Every structure is written in C-alpha cells, then in structure tokens.
Amino acid sequence: MLNWLEQILPNVFQLGWGGDAGWGTSIFQTLFMTFWSSIFGGILGIAFGILLVLTKEGGIRPNKFWYNFSDKLVSIFRAVPFIILLAFVAPVTQKIVGTQIGIKAALVPLTLGVFPFYARQVQVALESVDPGKIEAAQSIGATITDIIFDVYLREARSELIRVSTVTIISLIGLTAMAGAIGAGGLGNTAISYGYNRFNNDVTLVATLLVVILIFIVQVIGDYFAKKLNHQSR
C-alpha cells in the first residue's frame, strides 16, 4: 500500500515529514499561526465587540467618541486586503517580535487581519441578547462587569462559539497568504512546492490537509455551540 502511494504521490513522499519543508513542519506552522492568532485576535475582537455594544447609542454606556473610534478602527482594518496589511505593518512587526519574516512575524498581521472581522461578529452576537434581560440586570443593581459577563457573554455564548468557529476557519485561509513573509505552513507548501513546481500531488495533499483541518474545527465548533445552546435553555 505504501509503495503504491509513493508511486502515485512521488513528490509528496520526497518532501518527507521533517526538515524545513516537511509535512510535519508545515502542519505545525499552520497550527501555530492559527492557534496564537486566534488567541490574540480573539481577545482584541471580544474587547472591541463589547466596546461597540456598550458605547453605541442606546447602549448601557453610550459614548459617541469611543463608539466612533472603535467603529472606524474596525472598519479601516477590515477594508485593508491582508496581503497589503502584511507589508503595511512590517515595521510594527519588526518592533514587536524583532523580525519581519517567519511564523512569529506572521502573528502580528494575522492578529490585525482577523480581529476586525471577529469584532463585528461579536458585536452582532451580543446585540442579539434579549434587551429585557439587560434591563432586568440593571434593575437589581448589576454592575457593568456583571452585565458583560453574566448577561451578554453568558446569553450569547452559543452564538459566540459559532462566530468563533467561522473566524478560525477564515484565519486558516489567511495563514496561506502568510507564506509571503516566509511563515511557511500548508498554504505555502501548496504554492511553493506544489503549484510553482508543477507538483500537482503536493498541491492536492496540502489542500486535503487544510480541508481536514477546517472540517475538524467546524465539527468541534458545532458540537460546543449546540451543547451550550441546550444548556442555556
């Protein structure tokens, strides 16, 4: 079986598992970029999503300045194509991680690229919370912190899991473009060692691995979203 696969996928086996271009290395690079960018981008996204909901007109702490600031900042970063963002934030990346290339350098543009998308998703999820529950919490003297954690985030947790799943899947796609700054990953393998060298078997396997990774994220996300939705009823 192994010999048969090696005959029909010769370039896949030639890359091997380890080394700078091995499959194990590419998978690790993709997971590394996805995980840490999800953490950093998720924190920023939730923070800005909450800020947008609290400070909007009719929110529990309306503030025109902070709402407009947050809204415009999120909109600007969403409007910038990711491949341009890679070059635009290069000086900032150099200051933060000390280099402009590699998987660590990719974390900065990936975080800045995904957080505005996630912030909008969080905003929509939190705005779907029943206003009556917020008013009830205010009537019993709940603080802003209580309302954020015990009402907004608790009531919207199932929807937040769903939008987080969508965001992570989108982020996996962005990691492919991160190869432009030497970040590696499955996307880079598919392009650099597959498409550019006419090694169709490498492109096929790299694409299948990305699809499998996305499928796993989707299944896990759907499971927890349904579980939390049932618990909140």
CATH number of the CATH domain containing 52: 1.10.3720.10
How far apart (Å, rounded) are the C-alpha atoms in residues 204 and 186?
Answer: 11
Number of compact structural domains in the chain: 1
How far apart (Å, rounded) are the C-alpha atoms in residues 159 and 219?
Answer: 15
- Residue 146 inside a domain? The answer is yes
Helices (H) and strands (E) in the chain, counts: 13, 0
Angle between helices 64-79 and 23-55 (to 10 degrees): 150
- Residue 6 inside a domain? The answer is no
- Residue 11 inside a domain? The answer is no
What per-residue confidence (pLDDT) applies to 232?
Answer: 55
Contact residues for 138 (Cβ-Cβ < 8 A; gap 6+): 60, 147
Judging by beta carbons within 10 Å of its beta carbon (0-12, 13-18, 19+), is residue 201 exposed, middle or buried? middle
What per-residue confidence (pLDDT) applies to 110?
Answer: 94
User: Rounded to two decimals, what is the model's pTM?
Assistant: 0.90
- Residue 77 inside a domain? The answer is yes
Say how many CA atoms lie within 13 Å of 114 toward its Cβ.
32
- Residue 79 inside a domain? The answer is yes
Provide the residue-wise pLDDT of the chain in tens; the chain has 233 residues. Answer: 667 777 788 888 888 888 877 899 999 999 999 999 999 999 999 999 999 999 999 889 999 999 999 999 999 999 998 888 888 888 988 988 888 888 888 999 999 999 999 999 999 999 999 999 999 998 888 899 999 999 999 999 999 999 999 999 999 988 888 876 678 889 888 888 888 888 899 999 999 999 999 999 999 999 999 888 755 55
- Residue 10 inside a domain? The answer is no
Domain extent for 180: 21-231
DSSP state letters, 182-227:
T--SHHHIIIIIIITTT-HHHHHHHHHHHHHHHHHHHHHHHHHHHH
How far apart (Å, rounded) are the C-alpha atoms in residues 209 and 201?
Answer: 12
What per-residue confidence (pLDDT) applies to 184?
Answer: 84
Q: Quick one: DSSP state of residue 181?
A: G
What per-residue confidence (pLDDT) applies to 3?
Answer: 73
- Residue 60 inside a domain? The answer is yes
- Residue 185 inside a domain? The answer is yes
Cα-atom radius of gyration of the chain, to the nearest Å? 21
What per-residue confidence (pLDDT) applies to 180?
Answer: 62
- For residue 181, CA distances in Å to 87, 102, 159, 178, 195 come to 9, 6, 34, 6, 18
